[in-house]
Amino acid sequence: METTIINKTSFNEERGNCLEKQNAAIFISLGKKETEVDRTFLNEVIKALWRSKKTLVATGAGISVSAGIPDFRSENGLYNLVKERYPKVIMKGKDLFDANVFRDINSSQVFFSFMAELKLLIDKATITPTHTFIKWLEEEKKLLRCYTQNIDCLEKKLNMNSQLDKKSKNVNKIVQVHGDMDYVFCVICRANFDFNQEVIDIFKGGKAPSCSSCELKSEERERSGRRGLKEGFLRPNIVLYNEHHTNGELISEFISHDMRRKPDLMIVIGTSLKIVGMKNLVKEMAKKVHEFKNGKVILINKIELGKEWEEVFDYIILADCDQACTKLKNGYKIYNEQVIKELQAKENKKPSKTKNKNSNANLKFKMVKSTITVQKTKLFQTPLGGNIKESPAALLNNGI
């Protein structure tokens, strides 16, 4: 079955769903609800990935659920877990991740003990197929940058650079927009320390470690006869609600840098996009990608996000993150192999252009050349079923 798509308008007879708006997203279901139409549209996503040279990725907590780390907003997420565990202290799970949590002794104790538990979960977590997919994009020289809301630092287990400094803009592939759980910092002097077992043990008791850097500075002043300084306590290096990222300006520079590099594809994975900052970032980057002639913006998520996003995304894949990323990666490899075979076959059909001094040989070459006919374009069988009305070689020659 051949499916033709003009702009982004399509009629899906199997679902009885007409996408009349020119900029309406195309929904793709995978798994049990997957249809032939879904596979055809998925092939278009694979084709867009194959074309891309500068891919932006944005990720949320959904990509780490299979690693053993709960997300925030689902039924079994962190917000509900906190509310169930500390009903007398925490009114809403979200309150535990608010900067105001330190104003109350009881809520701050809950915060520190919960951070110790979360840190232990993170340390035990293993990388997922989705993390492997992002690493594969880097290896294929396609990944421009990955902006992640996650604080678990699982990308580091794949040796992906997340260093934030002005010199690393062309090297660092991971930007952690909400901080990380690898470090703790002092609320006064901002000194960083490893989030090690000693810190975990203190957090477990609902307390915060004192800052050794502040202590040293205060002792030095006291030895010189001056008044000691106020000493701070340590907290996880994460961004809470109602506070700014300590590296906010630097992250803004990274974003501007990436915008100037003209990204041609964006993949958003495993996020509800409820956080205003990330929500705005995705929308701005989507506009930049759509400035590119064949630029596409793709969402991979288990649930729909609402009508406002249907004009932002070109394709919305409703599926498990790991399942979708594995299909994209495998489909890409199959497609790429077929492209190579098609090009090799085309190259083998070309007549030899080696000149021969023998005039009869030249005459024979001319006769052979004159009999060559141009083949008509055939429907190309795509990796996961469905047809595309261009061969891989034609796509390559057209600069797609």
> Is 325 annotated among the ligand-binding residues?
no
pLDDT tens-digit readout, 95-115: 888 999 999 898 899 899 989
Mean per-residue pLDDT of the chain: 82
- C-beta separation of 342 from 295 below 8 A: no
> Is 211 annotated among the ligand-binding residues?
yes
Q: Is the pLDDT of residue 247 over 50?
A: yes
The CATH code that applies to domain 70-124+179-238 is 3.30.1600.10
Residue among 368, 377, 307, 302 nearest 346 (CA): 377
| pLDDT, position 397 | 37
- C-beta separation of 389 from 1 below 8 A: no
- C-beta separation of 93 from 87 below 8 A: no
Q: Show the tokens assigned to 389.
A: 């009305």
Which amino acid appears at position 353 of this protein?
A: K
Q: Is the pLDDT of residue 377 over 50?
A: no
CA angle 151, 247, 202 (to 5 degrees): 50
Catalytic residue among 178, 244, 245, 290: 178
Find the range with the poorest average confidence among 30-39, 91-100, 337-346, 373-382: 373-382
Distance of CA 15 to the CA centre of its chain: 29
| pLDDT, position 85 | 75
DSSP letter string, 254-279: HHHHHHHT---EEEEES----SHHHH
Handedness of CA 334, 335, 338, 340 (dihedral sign): negative
> Is 18 annotated among the ligand-binding residues?
no
| pLDDT, position 23 | 62
Q: Is the pLDDT of residue 79 over 50?
A: yes
pLDDT tens-digit readout, 261-320: 999 999 999 999 999 999 999 999 999 999 998 999 999 999 999 888 989 999 999 999
Q: For this structure, is 290 an active site residue?
A: no
What kind of fold does domain 1-66+128-178+247-358 have according to CATH? Rossmann fold (3.40.50)
Residue among 105, 13, 123, 30 nearest 315 (CA): 30
pLDDT, greater one: 227 or 389? 227
Does the predicted model carry a pTM greater than 0.85? no
- Which band of pLDDT confidence, cut at 50, 70 and 90, is reported for residue 7? very low
- C-beta separation of 47 from 335 below 8 A: yes
Residues whose CB falls within 8 Å of the CB of residue 10, separated by 6 or more in sequence, listed in order: 3, 19, 26
| pLDDT, position 89 | 74
Domain coordinates in residue numbering, the chain: 1-66+128-178+247-358, 70-124+179-238
| pLDDT, position 108 | 92
> Is 189 annotated among the ligand-binding residues?
yes
